[in-house]
Amino acid sequence: MGKRMTSSWLLALAVVAAGCLESDSVNQPNVVLIIIDDLGWTDVGEYGSTFYETPNIDRLAASGALFTQFYAASSVCSPTRASIMTGKYPARLHLTNWIGGEQNGKMLPAEYIRQLPLEEMTVGEAFKKAGYATGFIGKWHLGEKPYYPEFQGFDVNVAGHAAGQPGSYFFPYENERLPWSNVPDLEDGKDGEYLTDRLTDEALDFIEANRGQPFFLVLSHYAVHTPLQAKPEASSRFESKATSLPQPSLPEFVAEGPSATTKTRQDHAVYAAMVESSDQSVGRILDRLEELGIASHTAVVFVSDNGGLSTLSGERTYMPTANLPLRAGKGWLYEGGIRVPLVIHWPGVVDTAVTIAEPTISTDLYPTLLAIAGLTPEPQQHQDGLSLAPLLTQSGSIDRAAIYWHFPHYHGSGNVPSGAVRAGDFKLIEWLEDGEFELYNLLDDPGETEDLAEELPGKASELRSLLHGWRESMDARMPRQNPQR
């Protein structure tokens, strides 16, 4: 990338510094944000998977920046999605759980809001205010109507509603036992139609319709979230592939704490086929941008909202993926639950393979997307996000002392209320039921296998103080003792 830091990136930096461009310029950068649901850090070829097949995501990484230590702001979906939309920590928003995920245990979980407040200035509203056409297609899961995307800055909303999973991945995308999960707006489909393909069709229609003006598109797939459903022919192919895998060196499942189980292998045929369909969606988007002649001024950002589903409470073993070498998965504040893929292709700035190892987080996407488009935020926007433009342009670093998480809830993965902080290479996890904590050096031990809390009490105390001070600054809501337990 260093050899490319010539006139093209200087021009891009000038655009960023200048603030908003004229919205009627066809050369103003378009931005496409693709969000995959529950895609684990190692579920992509470029991140280490040898079972799943992701040639198009890998192709995007070959022309962009691949972030190796990018984090979701939560280990579950709604809080992370709120952080992307607002650039704020879930703790600041008081939207700390997946909406509808109430569970009690030894403690009563913290109270949380069940919608993204209309008072928040979303990234969609920021683009719309700058004259962009804005579209949201797919999973929303940030509140009932009137908190849908069309009330949060998006001109077009297709299939975005209150549910966090589809009734079915096949037309008519309904489940009579779970009517709240029925996907809206797609009633004109046909038998055999697959949801990931249909949402991509809708995204392509939006791109086609707005090819002559600047646009911001969020393609938010329901995949690869449950229910686990895929095209039969693809599933059969991966079933054959799974049977030819070498003999594993680890047992298929290992204990996670006192009451959970983690999968250690990537060998689930249906899940692999769902990953493949998601990858094909990325390829279709990239191809259409080329066909329309707008790829040269369209940035494409690819991300997941939390770690892969690899860990479940008790002895349940229907989790579909594995996040090794990271520990645990969705629902946990171990690395497997919060470290996720992020790839950013920014034409003229990052269009060859670059690896960025700086710890970053989903709150950073808001200011980064604006910077790519040459837009400047208003006060109070993205309070907890930092633009990644200096990293992408190799023009500087980002000034951040620590990254924080607040998940004061129980989860079906077996996780109990917890919080975490990462400062430098060290990460502390605090368990809110009993105040116990664990300390890890992620540089030496990314799998979080060696707790250093007793060996390094000073470092543990330092990080714990940071975490408590941050929670106070966020006015974070805390769980309380359950009088029934």
* Catalytic positions, written as ranges: 77, 141
Beta bridge pairs of residue 74: none
Say if residue 234 is exposed, middle or buried (CB neighbours under 10 Å; 0-12, 13-18, 19+).
buried
Nearest to 224 by CA among 270, 266, 186: 270
- The first and second tokens of residue 148, run together, are 């849908």
Q: CB count, 10 Å around CB of 209?
A: 13
Q: What are phi and psi of 307, to 5 degrees?
A: -70, 165
The one-character DSSP state at 327 is: -
E strand or H helix at 143: none
Rg (CA), the chain: 21
Buried-state track 151-177, b at ≥16 Cβ within 10 A, e below 16: ebbbbbbbbbbbbbbbbbbbbebbeee
C-alpha count within 13 angstroms, C-beta hemisphere, residue 44: 31
Amino acid at 133: A
Say if residue 349 is exposed, middle or buried (CB neighbours under 10 Å; 0-12, 13-18, 19+).
buried
Amino acid at 196: T
Cα gap 375→17, rounded to integer Å: 9
- Cβ atoms of residues 85 and 115 within 8 Å: no
SS3 content of the chain, % helix, strand, coil (to 5): 30, 20, 55
Cα gap 124→297, rounded to integer Å: 19
Q: What are phi and psi of 423, to 5 degrees?
A: -130, 115
Strands 354-356 and 311-313: unpaired
- Cβ atoms of residues 422 and 402 within 8 Å: yes
Cα gap 373→124, rounded to integer Å: 13
